[in-house]
């Protein structure tokens, strides 16, 4: 049964790609050889305790004693990922036979469980397990990883100097990273590395940030102006990239900007958010894309400069884990995504979001990963450049926009089409998409409220 599911997925993906190529006909069609692709996976959150048992409170530690809702072989919405779910995601990616240049993996391997149920040793073991799993499926693929707030023990408390976790993870990631990147990573959990592409005259620089140092629950960095000197390091790298005319992709776990589901709330501390926004505005001509995880939801952001001109595209990828807490109304189906980029200048051309309908997979005992949407098609835009995303944001802002209903359904990865996001919920989403700094975001919230 599993093999049939994989074959069907491969066929469906091949047909979707063919149809897209035939339908697209952009203003300036690029030859296939000029289009590169890369995968983005995030928030695997393996729960090693997951197992089917008559006692629903004991299906997984990550439900924290709550009754699992409808557990099956691929998981449950009150649990983190069983290993079988993670394997099915990577099997789908591998069997789709996409000619990808690399993969970005934006962190969070351990489960959401009470602190006492984990340890430094266990966290290191789980990150090692996930690294090995990726390498087994993609032995020759370049992977650019980033640490998440759960990739430490105790969770969220990532330090500003070298640590047992940083050292162990650096050893796991040696096959992917240069000696210089590994050395930087050991000191603060971040790094930079060039990606040499055969089809481009200029290399792409990946900057993997440890945004967990700026995460609000991290008590280690309270009142620290520049944790691990990452701001100074980042500005130095971007300045050099600017002079060398490199293009840069920023990757990280916790995103910048405001949370689209919580009014007036940044994911990282407000002071750090303001500083990053300032840096990213200054070097927006160098940065060709920003990619994050953490929220478990699917969202976009457009960085505007001081004159409200769109200058950067930011993407938050949904999680592989389907977990939610008992009090949450919505969750997400598991998701993985594929980006297409222009090999000449690394500008982003499109995004293909894939998902697993968890209820259906459990019911059929088969993981049939499907294409959820293609971003340019879903929203009627030409590419993923800042100007295009800004146009899309304006369309989503229109009252009673059916396009926004589609956006919100994608936000929760087709979890439940009957869940609507209106009034205050929509205001939070719309303001978070377009306004990443305190002043403009607050103005947006106040404007929408009147």
Residues in contact with 147: Cβ distance below 8 Å, sequence separation at least 6, in sequence order: 107, 158, 169, 189, 210, 212, 253
pLDDT in tens, the chain (450 residues): 343 444 444 544 554 544 444 343 344 567 667 899 999 999 999 999 999 999 999 999 999 999 999 999 999 999 999 999 999 999 999 999 999 999 999 999 999 999 999 999 999 999 999 999 999 999 999 999 999 999 999 999 999 999 999 999 999 999 999 999 999 999 999 999 999 877 677 889 999 999 999 999 999 999 999 999 999 999 999 999 999 999 999 999 999 999 999 999 999 999 999 999 999 999 999 999 999 999 999 999 999 999 999 999 999 999 999 999 999 999 999 999 999 999 999 999 999 999 999 999 999 999 999 999 999 999 999 999 999 999 999 999 999 999 999 999 999 999 999 999 999 999 999 999 999 999 999 999 999 877
Give the residue from 58, 40, 131 showing the smallest Cα distance to 353. 40
Could you give the CA distance from residue 67 to residue 81 in angstroms, rounded to a whole number?
16
Closest by CA to 104, choosing from 405, 401, 351, 270, is 351
Token digits of residue 189? 């959990």
Q: How many CB atoms lie within 10 A of CB 433?
A: 25
Q: Tokens standing for 177?
A: 């990273």
Full DSSP string of 42-87 = ----B-TT----S-GGGS-GGGTTSPPSS-BTTB-TTS-B-HHHHH
The tokens of 8 are what? 């069907």
Please give the Cα distance from 334 to 44 (Å, whole number): 9
- CA-based nearest residue to 194, from 135, 246, 138: 246
Q: Which two tokens stand for residue 379?
A: 């929203």
Residue found by looking up tokens 């592409």 in the block: 197
Asked if residue 82 lies in contact with residue 125, where contact means CB atoms within 8 angstroms, the answer is no
CA distance 287 to 43: 24
Name which of 385, 371, 286, 302 is nearest 341 in CA terms: 385
> What crossing angle do the helices spanning 120-137 and 83-95 adopt, rounded to 10°?
30
Query: Helices then strands (H, E): number in the chain?
Result: 13, 12
Q: From CA 336, how far away is CA 44, in angstroms rounded? A: 10
Measured CA distances, 191 to 147, 184, 188 (Å): 11, 6, 8
């Amino acid at each position: 049964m599993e093999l049939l599911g994989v074959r069907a997925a491969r066929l469906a993906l091949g047909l979707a790609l063919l149809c897209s190529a035939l339908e697209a006909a952009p203003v300036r069609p690029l030859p296939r050889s000029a289009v590169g692709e890369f995968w983005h996976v995030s928030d695997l959150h393996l729960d090693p305790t997951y197992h089917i048992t008559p006692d629903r409170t004991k299906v997984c530690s990550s439900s924290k004693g709550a009754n699992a809702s409808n557990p099956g072989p691929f998981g449950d919405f009150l649990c983190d990922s069983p290993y079988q779910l993670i394997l099915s995601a990577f099997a789908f990616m591998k069997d789709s036979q996409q000619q990808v240049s690399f993969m970005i993996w934006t962190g969070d391997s351990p489960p959401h469980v009470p602190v006492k149920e984990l340890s430094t040793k266990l966290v290191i073991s789980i990150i090692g397990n996930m690294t090995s799993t990726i390498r087994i499926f993609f032995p020759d693929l370049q992977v650019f990883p980033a640490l998440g707030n759960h990739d430490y023990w105790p969770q969220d408390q990532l330090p500003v100097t070298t640590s047992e976790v940083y050292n162990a993870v650096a050893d796991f990631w040696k096959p992917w990273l240069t000696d210089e990147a590994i050395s930087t990573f050991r000191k603060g959990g971040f790094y930079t590395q060039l990606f040499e592409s055969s089809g481009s005259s200029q290399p792409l620089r990946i900057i993997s940030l440890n945004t967990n140092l700026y995460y609000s629950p991290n008590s280690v960095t309270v009142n620290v102006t520049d944790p691990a000197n990452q701001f100074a390091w980042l500005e130095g790298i971007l300045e050099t990239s600017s002079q060398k005319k490199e293009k840069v992709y920023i990757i990280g776990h916790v995103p910048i900007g405001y949370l689209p589901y919580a009014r007036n709330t940044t994911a990282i501390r407000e002071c750090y958010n303001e500083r990053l926004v300032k840096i990213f505005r200054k070097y927006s001509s160098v940065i060709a894309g920003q990619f994050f995880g953490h929220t478990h939801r699917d969202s976009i952001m457009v960085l505007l400069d001081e004159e409200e001109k769109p200058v950067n595209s930011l993407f938050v990828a949904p999680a592989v884990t389907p977990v939610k807490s008992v009090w949450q109304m919505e969750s997400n189906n598991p998701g993985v995504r594929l980006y297409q980029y222009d090999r000449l200048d690394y500008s982003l051309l499109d995004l293909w979001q894939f998902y697993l309908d968890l209820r259906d997979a459990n019911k059929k005992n088969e993981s049939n990963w499907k294409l959820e949407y293609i971003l340019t098609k879903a929203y009627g835009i030409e590419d993923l450049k800042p100007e295009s995303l800004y146009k899309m944001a304006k369309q989503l802002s229109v009252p009673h926009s059916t396009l926004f209903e589609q956006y919100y359904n994608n936000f929760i990865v087709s979890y439940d089409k009957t869940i609507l996001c209106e009034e205050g919920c929509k205001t939070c989403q719309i303001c978070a998409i377009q306004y990443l700094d305190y002043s403009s975001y607050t103005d947006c919230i106040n404007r929408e409220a009147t």
